[in-house]
Structure 1
Amino acid sequence: MLKIGVIGAGKMGLLHSAILNHNENCVISSISEPSDMILNSFKTFNSKIATYKNYEDMLSKEDLDCIYITSPTHLHSEMAIKCLEGNKHVFLEKPLAINCSEAKPVLELSQRVDRSSMVGYMMRYIETFEKTKRLIDSGNIGRIINFNAKMQVAQIFSKGRGWRSDPLKSGGGVVILQATHLIDLLCWYFGFPNKVQSNFNNYYSEKLEDFCHCNFIYDDELTGSFFSSWSIFNKRLLETSIEIHGTNGQINVNDDTLQLYVHNDADEFKAGYFKWTKPELSTGVSIDVGGTHYTRQDNFFIQAIKENLKIDHDIPNAYLVQKVTDAVYSSATTKDTVEIVN
């Protein structure tokens, strides 16, 4: 039974705690959270959970196997380093850090210690996007030649407050706080781009970007782009959609539906149109808090620790996503194409 400690009991800390509480292979042993009100709520909910206001006290006093870090972005690198130095498995909410400079020490330490890590790019576990990865890799639509993606929601229409509105603590606006999920998906599907070209608009926020247009540039003939905004009036819920063009067909996928067109007969599919919905692809989970993909993500992380399984979206992968994200910001600032150096 893995003993879990959670750092940060805000929205994401509570979400992961609820999911892990239903996993028979682990137990939430302790929580670190600076808010007395939240800590008292945990004590009322379960008096067996040890509570701490300081995460370093929790690390030094509790015998923990794994730490979930769900704190504000600017605290990620410091906390991850402390946990890895303590020989803990680490789950870290995205992004890895506010920039590559802060992320690199985390990367280097993670490569020296024999501990599992995962960064919370949970969209890989949404059934439609997961099946899309398999369809791309199968080669049924041939060589990929172009993609276009969007991630939009109605969220920000005035100057915000709190750490998310401070670029020194958040790392930026809609790109690092929202679109990194999309960047991770696109890099998972098509590989990491060699260059990016982007532009921002910050109509509502004072210091953060509200809109981002970005082109991904590869060495081969593949081209692609994405648009992301948290200031779209008619998008009550977050919507992500990707259109993928291949030499033998096309894929159109969003959070709920996956459509495939195959031009000529392929290994797995005859020529024609095919469609799947999320309920058709779902295998069900023991608890649904915020979406089945969160449960599937957390369950796999616990399984990966116990069975020593490979985790694709670990700290090294998240560092590469961070490099692309940094390049998107650099391109928007310099108004020029930015090369991503490996």
Structure 2
Amino acid sequence: MIIAAEISNTATVTPQSPLSIALRVLLPDDAIAFGVPLATLGRWRIGGPADVVVTPPDVATLRGVLAAIAQAGVPHVIVGDGSNLLYDDAGFRGVVVRIGRAFGNFVIDADGIVEAGAGLWVPSFVRKVIAGGMAGATHAIGIPGTLGGLVTMNGGSQRRGIGENVVSADVIARDGTLLRILHADLGYAYRSSTLQASGGTVVSARLRFQPGDRHALRREAIAILAARRAKFPRVRANCGSVFVSDPALYNLIGPPGLAIERAGLKGASVGGAQMSPDHANFIVNNGGARSRDVLELIALARRRVQELTGIAMIAEVRHLAPDGTMRPAHEIADMLAIETTQGTS
């Protein structure tokens, strides 16, 4: 069992707490760790300590873990690779439940329906779909993250979302109940679904794709990856696109990155965070960036683009507060901007 040398004095879950004892019974020794820096779990490399991080090895264990957390009344958050999360500098006073590669199954049934696990790395998922001679997933080939996050967020690129292919999602409710939710009840819209508010945990999804030519699809995937490598930052830590592409903004100027550039903010920095010189809709960590630095850049970009266009950009990145509240990062950024203004007035 891994226990960090220092755990926050304000920790809700300590190694000796009743919930920790229950989790030890449910989990293998190497699947539970205390005082884990969230900076090690997210692609931004930002964030303070989490009380405890658990990585269940299978669905049955995950159900037991979630039931134990619910019974204890302790905050928890579900993460995959943390590619769209901004962890707070103060960390998180609760349980981080990681959906890892153990949830990486992929099968195609006799009816051509794909069933895939939530922990499957999205580029691997897309390659498997292509290898199966199916079209419709190629747009997601370059998206960092796991399938569970993609299904929850209706992720995708080229203004497409994976929700158009989802037949159903197997979800564990907060109390540990396993549910199968059909497409009609998932409420898919652009970069959103009902899963974001339900608090449930996607463990697998069933998806339907159209037949396609493997060779043509592979060529398309290679072209998409080449285009992403040419324009997106690859060396410095980042979470991918920060702002959602809004149709009104797109029609007026173009995508968020171009709007931010037109507002004069490409390359702008706050602390260790910077609007990427490669693509302005990416915020990179140049070393030692804090969550506050990122939030200040988000607030600045929103304000300048709104002054330029009259349109307030929406962040697709989510901010995790120390109490477990998960909100779009622009909402926290706006509150921070108000507090800063009031403090200087």
Normalization by structure 2: what TM-score?
A: 0.30
Q: Which has the higher contact order (CA 8 A, sep 6+)?
A: 1
